[in-house]
């Protein structure tokens, strides 16, 4: 397909996605799940949130449905969850410290509040293999989360924190987070991604079945 044809196809998909948001009969509950990270560096510890999102897309059968959305500067995929709920999966195409712009634009596009936006990101203060689902709070020094708080003007977003461990020396933190997982660490990743996906889906399903969309 020529570049102009590809652009027309992307615009058509983007407009079609917008129409689907507004059509009657579509899910009454919708959740945005954003995997924070750096585009072009999918195998690094800092982008483990994107790895979780990839596993979530595979679990939901939409791994081949990613669409680049120029309005959000992100890759989007829509996935049904039960009979009346839907997940909007988002992978920002901006650098980590600007991820919040993509997340906020997608939340606006789909008419979602901060409480309906899940952030999945790396956590230095937890060892690799440990997970924690946190409801709101401060950024705790994470630039991607800080960007989301600033752009959404809220700190209410639920966050799945994926442990990557902290190096012994503070001076090594940047190299650690931007580095790839070691061969030994890579062996731990598949079960970690599965457990992270389980935890996300369990929490979102429980909220979808509840009387309100609050955490």
Q: How far apart are the C-alpha atoms of 64 and 30, rounded to whole Å?
A: 20
Residue 169 annotated among the catalytic residues of the structure? no
Residue 200: helix, strand or coil by DSSP? helix
- Alpha helix positions (H), 23-98: 48-59
Label residue 80 left, alpha or beta by phi (over 0 means left) and psi (-120 to 50 means alpha).
beta
Residue 118 burial class via C-beta count within 10 angstroms: exposed 0-12, middle 13-18, buried 19 and up: buried
Residue 132: helix, strand or coil by DSSP? strand
Residue 182: helix, strand or coil by DSSP? coil
Pair 213, 207: CB distance under 8 Å: yes
Question: What dihedral angle (degrees, nearest 10) is formed by the CA atoms of 71, 73, 74, 76?
Answer: 10
- Phi and psi angles of residue 28, each rounded to the nearest 5 degrees, phi first: -80, -20
Q: Which of 191, 162, 194, 192 is nearest to 177 (CA)?
A: 162
Name the catalytic one among 46, 121, 142, 169: 46
> Which residues are known catalytic residues?
46
């Amino acid at each position: 397909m020529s570049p102009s044809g590809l652009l027309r196809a992307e615009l058509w998909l983007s407009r079609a996605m917008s129409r689907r948001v507004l059509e009657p009969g579509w899910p009454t509950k919708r959740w945005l799940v954003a995997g924070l990270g750096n585009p072009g560096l999918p195998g690094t510890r800092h982008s483990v949130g994107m790895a979780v999102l990839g596993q979530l897309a595979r679990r939901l059968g939409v791994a081949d449905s990613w669409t680049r959305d120029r309005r959000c500067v992100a890759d989007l995929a829509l996935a049904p969850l039960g009979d009346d709920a839907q997940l909007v999966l988002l992978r920002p195409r901006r650098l980590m410290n600007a991820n919040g712009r993509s997340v906020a634009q997608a939340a606006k596009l789909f008419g979602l509040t901060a409480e309906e936006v899940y952030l999945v990101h790396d956590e230095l203060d937890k060892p690799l293999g440990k997970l924690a689902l946190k409801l709101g709070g401060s950024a705790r020094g994470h630039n991607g989360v800080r960007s989301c708080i600033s752009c959404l003007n809220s700190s209410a977003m639920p966050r799945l924190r994926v442990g990557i461990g902290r190096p012994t020396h503070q001076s090594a933190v940047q190299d650690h987070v931007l580095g790839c997982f070691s061969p030994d660490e890579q062996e731990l990743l598949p079960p970690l991604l599965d457990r992270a996906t389980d935890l996300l889906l369990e929490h979102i399903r429980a909220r979808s079945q509840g009387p309100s969309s609050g955490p």
